Amino acid sequence: MQQPITRNDPALFSTEEENQYFDRKSARKDEKEIAKHICAFANASGGKLVIGIEDDGKITGFKRDGAHNIEEFEQAPIGTCTPGPIVHPERVQVVNCMGEDDVILVLDVEPSPDHVVSRISDKEVFLRQNDKSVKLDREQVLALEYDKNQRSYENEVQDRSSIDDIDAEVLRRYKDDIGATGLSDEQVLRSRGFLVDGHLTNAGVLLFSEYPGKFMPWARVRVLRVDGTSLSTGKRMNIVKDRTFDGPLPRQIEGAQQLISSLLREFQFLGEDGRFETIPEYPEFAWFEGLVNAVTHRNYAFSGDYIRVTMYDDRMEILSPGRLPNIVTLENMRHTRYSRNPVLARALVEMGWVRELNEGVQRIYDEMASYFLNEPLYTEPNNSSVLLTLENSATSRVLRQNDSLTAAVSQETLEGLSEYEIAAMRLAMSHGRVTTKGLGKVIEKGPTLCARTLKGLSSDKGLLVWHGSSTHDPSQYYSLNEAAFGAGRS
């Protein structure tokens, strides 16, 4: 994972690969080129721009023919960028590639938290993305302005809307929650800033309009249940459930919550008392907080995508359009709190949907750990969305329960099992059943070997019990022989 460089070391600057937080340029570059990179760093997460080192790492300093005056570069942030970003220049003594005493200039650019920085000469805006300073189009600049709260998308007025678009039941519940039942709908909406000159704001549309998709077709949540660990298309399509929720945000959250809850499985493990216990596939707080965070903090100005919750056999993925907001990064998000949509967030808190506001992401980590599951994984696919992945880690879960399989059977029996047989037993313990197909997905072997493995555990070793009407029954499966487990523990 890329990390900012913390020390001004010429040898490091010469060998380090350019990245999100670091770039180097020749002192022969003109101020327009230098301004491009200063703006890009300021609009992103900051970084170091080192002048006097070529792209290939050769230290040429400021004594090379064609090099500009070092003072020009020191003044560049003020003279070439607007508003002027905060930049700390430092001259660092070096020996250049010709063996001469020379200097390089380190421009330490701070991130601009509340303004988009542009180049004065042509008003162009750039953003640092990996090792490039990328020029943004108008729509991208607008999204960046929203992200830095220089412009507020949720407070902008939807001119085509009116109070007639309101979902009366959702607004009634909101009035109950804030103790405003004695006020008219218009009074409440106007006092909270959701209605301006007879029109709803974007926040008002998202929270209270009967059909937000009339104004923002991308403002919806889609929940999919997939049979397997990857999505197939065409004749092999394996989506078994697909439903979209596109009403006001409280109804989207409520509907998605109910559907996800109904699709979750329960896992079994053998407790210390010899009884089988059941636990949910994921801790409720973890997936529900992930869902609510996606709805509350997504970039609604980004019209290219919608929120998706995809449930696979081995994981749940929650995709929220738009990158992490402003000062939040993948590295600091567990402890940094920042709301892209503070008006939406406040209303959803008042309505009881945003819970545990002061715990958030950190508690998702804690809850997953308490269920002996792998840490949640946050990524930013294509630098255009935030993806939360929760793994149900069935095999890992059994292993971390002080290895329930070891506790359930005798050591002698366990030593007599092959790697594939152990995998089959753990599947049966965590899922309550195991099939030839299910075992094949885990051990990545063909049906003949898997069928032989399961039959051996049933017929020869008596650890599994076969269920089915015939050997050709498509619904046949194996479950644990609890009598054999009881004997193993005694």
The helix/strand/coil state of 465 is strand
Q: Is 219 exposed, middle or buried (0-12, 13-18, 19+ CB in 10 A)?
A: buried
> Over the range 381-411, which residues count as b (16 or more CB within 10 Å of their CB) and which as e?
eeeebbbbbbbbbbbebbeebeebbebbbee
Distance CA 91, CA 99 (A): 18
Q: How confident is the model at residue 406 (pLDDT cuts 50, 70, 90)?
A: low
List the CATH code of the domain at 221-396: 3.30.565.60
> Where, residue-wise, is CATH 1.10.10.10 in the chain?
402-489
DSSP H helical ranges for 44-110 = 70-80
Q: How far does CA 172 lie from the centroid of its chain? A: 33
| pLDDT (tens digit per residue) in 355-400 | 644 468 888 999 988 887 889 999 999 878 999 999 986 544 443 3
List, as one string, the DSSP characters of 337-385. Answer: ---S-HHHHHHHHHTT-S--TTTHHHHHHHHHHHTT-PPPEEE-GGGTE
Residues 6+ apart with CB under 8 A from 376: 286, 290, 364, 365, 368, 388, 389, 390
| CA-angle at 327, arms to 321 and 331, nearest 5° | 85
Average pLDDT of the chain?
Answer: 87
List the CATH code of the domain at 402-489: 1.10.10.10
- Percentage of the chain beyond pLDDT 70 is 89
Helix (H) or strand (E) holding 422: helix 419-431
The mean pLDDT of 188-214, rounded to a whole number, is 96
Nearest C-alpha neighbor of 163 from the set 134, 194, 125, 129:
194
| Residue 390 pLDDT | 96
| Residue 487 pLDDT | 46
The mean pLDDT of 261-283, rounded to a whole number, is 71
> Where, residue-wise, is CATH 3.30.950.30 in the chain?
10-147
| pLDDT (tens digit per residue) in 208-231 | 999 999 999 999 999 999 988 888
| Residue 234 pLDDT | 66
| pLDDT (tens digit per residue) in 76-134 | 999 999 999 999 999 999 999 999 999 999 999 999 988 999 999 999 999 998 899 99
Residues 6+ apart with CB under 8 A from 146: 152, 153, 299, 301, 340
Residues 6+ apart with CB under 8 A from 472: none
| pLDDT (tens digit per residue) in 297-318 | 999 988 879 999 999 988 999 9
| Residue 149 pLDDT | 75
Distance CA 28, CA 345 (A): 49
| pLDDT (tens digit per residue) in 169-193 | 999 999 999 999 999 999 999 999 9
| Residue 384 pLDDT | 85
Instruction: Copy the structure tokens of residue 214.
Output: 């009339």
Helix (H) or strand (E) holding 426: helix 419-431
> Where, residue-wise, is CATH 3.30.565.60 in the chain?
221-396
Nearest C-alpha neighbor of 394 from the set 363, 435, 425, 437:
425
Q: Which residues pair with 379 in a beta bridge?
A: 387
- Fold classification of 10-147 is 3.30.950
Would the CA dihedral through 50, 52, 54, 59 be positive or negative?
negative
Q: Contact at 8 Å (CB) between 126 and 36?
A: yes
Phi, psi of 402 (to 5 degrees): 55, 30
Least confident interval from 213-222, 283-292, 319-328: 319-328
DSSP 8-state class, residue 148:
T
Distance CA 22, CA 3 (A): 9
Instruction: Copy the structure tokens of residue 448.
Output: 């003949």
| pLDDT (tens digit per residue) in 454-474 | 999 999 889 999 999 988 888
The mean pLDDT of 13-25, rounded to a whole number, is 94
